[in-house]
Amino acid sequence: MEKFDVLDKNGNLTGKTKLRSEVHRDGDWHRAVHIWIINSEGKLLVQKRSPEKESHPNQWDISAAGHVSAGDNSITSAVREIYEELGVKIKQSDFKYLFTLTSQTIQNNGTFINNEFDDVYLVKIDVDISKVKLQKEEVSEVKWINPSLLAKVLENKDNSFVLYDEEYPRLLDYLKKAQDH
């Protein structure tokens, strides 16, 4: 039974922990991590969410993502999620923190309320996707895409992807600035 630290609306710990199901039922604020993997060719790794996922089944998504478990911190959770979902071991020092966003969504006829602080990380690493070990409950496939595709996804509201109206532009802006230097 996965438990989360409950946060206040400013992202501070409240001292309470609750089961994952209770947090999403009650709409409590909690923390999650989004990890983008970029290779030496400048392509981003995206994963297709499992058809069994309660949120965004069968949609293309971030390289890896997940909740921060009660008592854990963001970077520890990022390392764990990459390993659990893709079978890739990455050191904490290889993660670059980019920014934190807030996300509020209600899905599944109001039974899944997601109020989270998403810590977004970037990892520069070449991954052989033929050797990735997918966590079947979470991920059905992975592929490399050009970052410019995310701009088109957002522009066209392409529902084959999980849409992140704020995250995609900020990530693309960061990548463009890093490329220009």
How many structural domains does the chain have? 1
Mean pLDDT of the chain: 93
Please check whether residue 138 lies inside any domain of the structure.
yes
Please check whether residue 166 lies inside any domain of the structure.
no
CATH number at residue 30: 3.90.79.10
Task: Report the Cα–Cα distance between both ends of the chain, in Å, rounded.
Answer: 46
Q: How far apart are CA 113 and CA 29, in angstroms?
A: 10
- Going by C-beta distance under 8 Å and a sequence separation of 6 or more, which residues neighbour residue 178? none
Please check whether residue 134 lies inside any domain of the structure.
yes
User: What pLDDT digit, counting tens, does each position of 133-150 carry?
Assistant: 999 999 999 999 999 998
User: What pLDDT digit, counting tens, does each position of 32-43 carry?
Assistant: 999 999 999 999
Confidence of residue 110 (pLDDT cuts 50, 70, 90): confident
Q: C-alpha distances in angstroms, 68 versus 15, 88, 97, 164? A: 15, 18, 15, 19
CB 103 within 8 A of CB 9: no
Question: Does residue 104 surpass a pLDDT of 90?
Answer: no
Confidence of residue 19 (pLDDT cuts 50, 70, 90): very high
Question: Does residue 96 surpass a pLDDT of 80?
Answer: yes
Please check whether residue 149 lies inside any domain of the structure.
no
Please check whether residue 83 lies inside any domain of the structure.
yes
Q: What's phi and psi for 151, nearest 5 deg?
A: -65, -40
Measure CA 21 to chain center.
19
Question: Does residue 67 surpass a pLDDT of 90?
Answer: yes
Q: Please give the model's pTM, rounded to 2 decimal places.
A: 0.92
Predicted local distance difference test score (pLDDT) of residue 126? 96
What residues form DSSP beta bridges with 102?
117
Confidence of residue 112 (pLDDT cuts 50, 70, 90): confident
Question: Does residue 56 surpass a pLDDT of 70?
Answer: yes
Domain around 113: 3-144
Confidence of residue 181 (pLDDT cuts 50, 70, 90): low
